[in-house]
């Protein structure tokens, strides 16, 4: 009998631990929405998202400049990082010798593990001065943010895409080569189309990493809550908006930061469901 009870207790404890992840997710959702929704209700969702001015001390809360600024930075990062990442993944999976791969792959894992604040620091001491001296402007700019985020999303795109390319069945490749196709024709017409959804997942994960990033963008973007007019202008990301002002925000201002968090949260959830959709369609 004792054994029987013990087994049941163990099972319930394990079940509760398994529920913890759901519980935490629910708690985060409830806390952030309950703190942020009152302000969105007060200002109005459209005025909050489309408002062109962020002057929290005057009670004006519009996050459009940060949405637009963040959008430019992430587009730039994707333009720089995604093609390079996919090409590097093809290189590692299809072309590189085993020994070269054995050098580069651990390097990519290392890049994945480096804290974002170290990337930000690198951007601050290297990229910002270079941009200021050679291109003009303050150096703290959309361009600096895009380059740093591109470097940061690179390992994610490479790691996931390489796995996708490697998981393409050998027979497909062999059949194509046997039909007289060159290696490049095989990569373009057989391997990439088959690996497409895996590569897409890598790209979306990279996007998620870029939009989630806080420290690196704070350190190189300059953080002015204005619409950037060129890639050499400073900008502010949504994440940075929260991190920069939490230290002293109170009242409506504090709620506005939680409201910023809600917008970020919704965008992230959408991108996660996009990944699931891409993967499900692939399985069907």
Partner 1 sequence: MNSGKIAMGVFWASGLITLAILVIVIGHILLNGMGMISIEFLLDSPRALGREGGIFPTIIGTIALVVVALVIATPIGVGGAIYLAEYTHRGTITKIIRAGAECLAGIPSILFGLFGFAFFVIFLGFGWSILSGGLTVACMILPMILRTTEEALKAVPNSYREGSLSLGATKWQTTQNVVLKSAAAGIFTGIILGAGKVAGETAAIMLTAGTALRLPTSLFDSVRPMSFHLYILAMEGLSMERAYGTAAVLVITVLIINSTTTLIMRYYTRALRG
In degrees to the nearest 10, what's the CA dihedral of 66, 72, 73, 78? 140
Q: Say which DSSP state 222 is in.
A: B
CA distance 59 to 113: 40
CB of 137 to partner 1, least distance (A): 19
CB of 134 to partner 1, least distance (A): 17
Residue whose CB is less far from partner 1, 68 or 268 = 268
CB of 171 to partner 1, least distance (A): 22
Q: Is the dihedral of CA 91, 157, 81, 172 positive or negative?
A: positive
Residue whose CB is less far from partner 1, 5 or 46 = 5
Q: Please name which of 154, 280, 162 lies closest in space to residue 209, comparing C-alpha atoms.
A: 154
CB of 57 to partner 1, least distance (A): 20
Distances (CA, A) of 209 to 38, 80, 268, 274: 29, 15, 10, 14
CB of 69 to partner 1, least distance (A): 16
CB of 135 to partner 1, least distance (A): 19
CA distance 210 to 68: 15
Q: Say which DSSP state 166 is in.
A: H
- Angle, vertex CA 137, rays to CA 134 and CA 143, nearest 5: 75
CB of 155 to partner 1, least distance (A): 9
User: Where is 153: in which H helix or E strand?
Assistant: helix 142-166
Residue whose CB is less far from partner 1, 52 or 118 = 118
Contact 70, 238 (CB under 8 A): yes
Residue whose CB is less far from partner 1, 77 or 242 = 242
Residue whose CB is less far from partner 1, 204 or 231 = 204
Which token pair is 13? 């404890």
Q: Determine how β-strand 54-55 pairs with β-strand 60-61.
A: antiparallel
Residue whose CB is less far from partner 1, 158 or 160 = 158
Residue whose CB is less far from partner 1, 178 or 229 = 178
Question: Around Cβ 85, how many Cβ atoms within 10 Å?
Answer: 27
């Amino acid at each position: 009998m004792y054994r029987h009870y013990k087994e049941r207790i163990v099972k319930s404890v394990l079940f509760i631990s398994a529920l913890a992840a759901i519980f935490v997710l629910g708690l985060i959702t409830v806390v952030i929405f309950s703190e942020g929704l009152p302000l969105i209700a007060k200002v109005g969702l459209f005025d909050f998202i489309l408002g062109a001015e962020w002057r929290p001390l005057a009670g004006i809360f519009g996050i459009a400049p940060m949405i637009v600024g963040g959008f430019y930075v992430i587009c730039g990062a994707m333009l720089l990082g995604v093609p390079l990442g996919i090409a590097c993944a093809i290189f590692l999976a299809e072309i590189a010798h085993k020994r070269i791969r054995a050098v580069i792959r651990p390097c990519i894992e290392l890049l994945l593990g480096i804290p974002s604040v170290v990337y930000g620091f690198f951007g601050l001491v290297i990229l910002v001065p270079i941009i200021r001296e050679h291109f003009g402007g303050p150096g703290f700019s959309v361009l600096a943010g895009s380059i740093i985020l591109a470097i940061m999303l690179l390992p994610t795109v490479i790691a996931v895409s390489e796995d996708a390319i490697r998981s393409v069945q050998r027979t497909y490749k062999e059949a194509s080569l046997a039909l007289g196709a060159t290696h490049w024709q095989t990569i373009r017409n057989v391997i990439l189309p088959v690996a497409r959804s895996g590569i897409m997942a890598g790209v979306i994960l990279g996007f998620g990493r870029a939009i989630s990033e806080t420290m690196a963008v704070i350190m190189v973007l300059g953080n002015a809550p204005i619409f950037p007019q060129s890639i050499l202008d400073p900008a502010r990301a949504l994440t940075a908006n929260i991190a920069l002002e939490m230290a002293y925000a109170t009242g409506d201002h504090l709620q506005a930061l939680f409201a910023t968090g809600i917008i970020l949260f919704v965008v992230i959830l959408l991108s996660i469901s996009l990944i699931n959709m891409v993967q499900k369609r692939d399985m069907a």
